[in-house]
Homo-oligomer: A and B are copies of this chain.
């Protein structure tokens, strides 16, 4: 598939009639109109995505995309690079936050390794190796055009697996030490903002560390300035394999008509790229939570969306999106199982 084809994928039509029927049903349930707030909005949107008057979110497909980042060499993370690999093994053995949440939600969970510096062979890790991590983008382009295409395709393949399993919701999570620096550099490039505006603490660097991240970003954008000509070019120069895979997964989920729950900062950056490529993709997205990474709020305002949860989480892995599934499930349960005014003989 050529780059142009990634830029011209279709987006599945929302079933507006199903949404309208769901909205009508909400008005008949035994409660003051609108009193379930965002739970009503969510179920009405989900009805349109699924083409069902009573939508469901029982079957959740969670894919964590993981990869190493060359930019980690610039000392931009609170954790050493080998933590990417260690955490992939922690996902495989079920000890990480996202795997605990996935089990609790009875969700299908998979972790896909697009490329760690030290290779991983493990029966519970899907191997999609495209290189031993991205290149340090303070020195050169983060990945080749071929690697970008491969990474986008890895994302798409995860959605194809979700589709085959009949998933009601798709969640992409990520793991990659230093990937907030990559994500922030992407946003600085897309919005033409200085590094200090977009850089934040990530998993926990302190004040001087944030300033250092900002400088690394500014220098990288200066280095690549002639190449940052499109969202996909920005992704290639400054991104990471797992961020590219998320972008691919969002484009494909919207094409195949699977509802997406976007996670926190990194995930929202991938969503932002996908929306830049095709603005209709946003119609297939729920936003799971407000990240406490400072620039996330700015992005949420830019996108004019309101995430379901605001719990001060900043973990990644898809954990905030997974947490919000419990809220989406409440919305579906209420919509499906509440009595109508006429059923219950309640005055309207």
* A96 and B204 contact, CB distance less than 8 A: no
Measured in the bound complex, the distance between the Cα atoms of B315 and A30 in whole Å is 10
Of the 9-residue stretches A75-83, A244-252, A267-275, which lies at the interface with chain B?
Answer: A75-83
Residue A87 at the chain B interface, CB threshold 8 Å: yes
* B312 and A38 contact, CB distance less than 8 A: yes
Write out the residue numbers on chain B whose beta carbons fall within 8 Å of the beta carbon of A204.
32-35
* B311 and A38 contact, CB distance less than 8 A: yes
* A344 and B90 contact, CB distance less than 8 A: yes
Measured in the bound complex, the distance between the Cα atoms of B93 and A344 in whole Å is 8
Residue A97 at the chain B interface, CB threshold 8 Å: yes
* B203 and A30 contact, CB distance less than 8 A: no
* A35 and B93 contact, CB distance less than 8 A: no
Q: Select from chain B the residue with minimum beta-carbon distance to A289.
A: B37
* B32 and A314 contact, CB distance less than 8 A: yes
* A-side interface residues, number (CB < 8 Å): 56
The count of identical subunits is 2
A33, A37, A103, A345 — which one has the most chain B CB atoms within 10 A of its CB? A37
Measured in the bound complex, the distance between the Cα atoms of B42 and A313 in whole Å is 13
Q: In the complex, which of the residues B35, B78, B310, B338 contacts A100, with contact meaning CB atoms closer than 8 Å?
A: B338
Write out the residue numbers on chain B whose beta carbons fall within 8 Å of the beta carbon of A344.
86, 89-90, 93, 95-96
* A311 and B97 contact, CB distance less than 8 A: no
Q: In the complex, which of the residues B90, B93, B330, B339 contacts A104, with contact meaning CB atoms closer than 8 Å?
A: B330
Q: Select from chain B the residue with minimum beta-carbon distance to A322.
A: B330
Contacts known (A79-B32, A79-B347); A327 close to B326, Cβ less than 8 A = yes
**Residue-by-residue, is A315-348 near B (CB-CB < 8 Å gives 1, otherwise 0)?**
1000100010011011001100111000111110
* A327 and B333 contact, CB distance less than 8 A: no
Measured in the bound complex, the distance between the Cα atoms of B33 and A308 in whole Å is 23
A95, A308, A314 — which one has the most chain B CB atoms within 10 A of its CB? A95
Measured in the bound complex, the distance between the Cα atoms of B346 and A79 in whole Å is 10
Contacts known (A32-B315, A339-B93); A309 close to B327, Cβ less than 8 A = yes
Measured in the bound complex, the distance between the Cα atoms of B87 and A93 in whole Å is 48
Residue A139 at the chain B interface, CB threshold 8 Å: no
Measured in the bound complex, the distance between the Cα atoms of B87 and A339 in whole Å is 11
* A32 and B338 contact, CB distance less than 8 A: no
Residue A39 at the chain B interface, CB threshold 8 Å: yes
Contacts known (A100-B334, A338-B95, A343-B95); A35 close to B80, Cβ less than 8 A = no
Q: Which of A64-118 contact B (CB under 8 A)?
A: 78-80, 82-83, 86-87, 89-90, 93-97, 100-101, 103-104
* B347 and A97 contact, CB distance less than 8 A: no
**Residue-by-residue, is A174-209 near B (CB-CB < 8 Å gives 1, otherwise 0)?**
000000000000000000000000000001100000
Residue A31 at the chain B interface, CB threshold 8 Å: yes
A-B pairs, 4 with minimum CB distance? A95-B339, A37-B312, A326-B326, A32-B203
Known: A35-B203, A309-B327, A323-B327. 4 other contacts (CB 8 A): A38-B313, A86-B344, A93-B344, A308-B311
